Structures are given as C-alpha cells and as structure tokens.
Amino acid sequence: MSVAEIKETKSNLIAWIEQLSDSNMLTVLDSIRNTKSENDWFDNLSASQKQHISEGIDDAENGRVVTSEKFWHNLKNG
C-alpha cells in the first residue's frame, strides 16, 4: 500500500467512525484499539487450527470454492 493509499484509507476510516452510531461496533473498534498483543494472533492457534487455515488457503488458491449463494442454497436445501 502506498503512502497516498494509506492516507486515503485513514481518512475513509475516520469519516466512517465519525458517522457510526452502533454502540456494539464502537465497542469492538475500541477493544481492537486497546489490544496490546506482542504476538500475531496466528501464533496463538493450535496446530489443528493452523492446518485448517492452510487447507482453506490451498482450496482457494486452487479454485476449490463455491459462491456464497450456492453455499446458502445447499445449506437450506440439504
């Protein structure tokens, strides 16, 4: 991301936050702001969770995906 893109993203986020009235969303954003994690969240996952994520990435990279419409249709109709 270029410096100009970063500045534009920040401006867009500030404008979006200023218009928010959803207290739940503001609470989530505030908790993210206050998080002081020294580690990447991925480092805290189990080996099994990391394996599932890797498999999902591999599926996506190799075109083994379905649209959300097809997913919901299949879920509703068995």
pLDDT at residue 65, as a whole number:
94
Torsional sign, CA 49, 74, 59, 57:
negative
pLDDT at residue 36, as a whole number:
74
Residue located via tokens 């068995």: 78
pLDDT at residue 68, as a whole number:
92
pLDDT of the chain, 78 residues: tens digit per residue: 899 999 999 999 999 999 999 999 999 999 888 877 677 888 889 999 999 999 999 999 999 999 999 999 999 997
> CA 42 to CA 21: how far, in whole Å?
31
> CA 67 to CA 48: how far, in whole Å?
26
Domain ranges of the chain: 1-33, 45-78
pLDDT at residue 58, as a whole number:
95
User: pTM value?
Assistant: 0.44
